[in-house]
Amino acid sequence: MEQDAVARAAVPGTVRGMVAQLATLGLPAGATVIVHSSLSRLGWVAGGAQAVVTALLEAVGPAGTLVMPTHSRHLTEPSDWGNPAVPQSWWEVIRSETPAFDPRTTPTYFMGAVVECFRSFPGVLRSAHPTVSFAAHGPDARRITDGHTLDDGLGEGSPLARLYEADAWVLLLGVGHDNNTSLHLAEYRARTPHPPRRLRQGSPVLVGGERRWVEYVELADDTSLFEPLGKDFAAITGLERVGPVGSGTARLMRQRALVDFGATWLSRRHHT
């Protein structure tokens, strides 16, 4: 994979170069921004994931707040697993023995090297949801990560809704809208002719210092709609900025405009 990154890059990506590219893209100093990323799609970067995180922190500066999804979907109900599925005889063992979610130590799951690096940076705070947590660094970090509700963890009680209130930016680094978690908030806000389907979920958490398996509900999402939604947002509103970061493609937009557009787009989709 590193060989592919070298082949894609005309020159190495650097902290200084990426900070300049982000400024050219239009990310302002002092911004609150949620970032989704793929290190390999940025070409070869001197310093790897650490350099990308450093560049992002320098780009927003001390007055800005950097946010990333730090999801841990390996802490879910094992009977629902399909990639890979596990034998039914394992389910109760997994429920009773999997370590509880700990914001300080639980690793992310298939979120990428940049996210995994960011969650351990000094000063980073992480919300307490066992499967769809978010990490943040900056003056608004605590307000964004506090109070993350267990039920509907990507809805109104989530850091996504706090980002909406802050009129934050969304930055996609080398990834498309299928990785854009803000569109889950649009799913919650879409008006559908029937109540949206919710799934029963379970995870190991700490309650009063004691490990427990708790159950909660979440929306049955459909990320297959996110790419066409994102393409329509860019084409219809003209509010998506596109430019290079490293040797990859970055997309920058306001989260509030995207979520509002997405909720309307999904509402119309459900009524057709």
Mean pLDDT of the chain: 94
Residue with tokens 């790419």: 227
CA distances from 265 to 17, 74, 102, 187, 229 (A): 36, 31, 36, 10, 7
Average pLDDT over residues 117-146: 98
Question: Of all residues in the chain, what percent carry a pLDDT higher than 90?
Answer: 88
Average pLDDT over residues 195-204: 91
Inform me whether the pLDDT recorded for 272 exceeds 90. no
Of 33-47, 73-87, 150-164, 226-240, the range with the lowest mean pLDDT is 73-87
Q: What is the pLDDT of residues 224-241, one digit of tens each?
A: 999 999 999 999 999 999
pLDDT band, very low/low/confident/very high, at 195 (cuts 50, 70, 90): confident
CA distances from 155 to 95, 125, 150, 151, 168 (A): 25, 20, 10, 9, 16
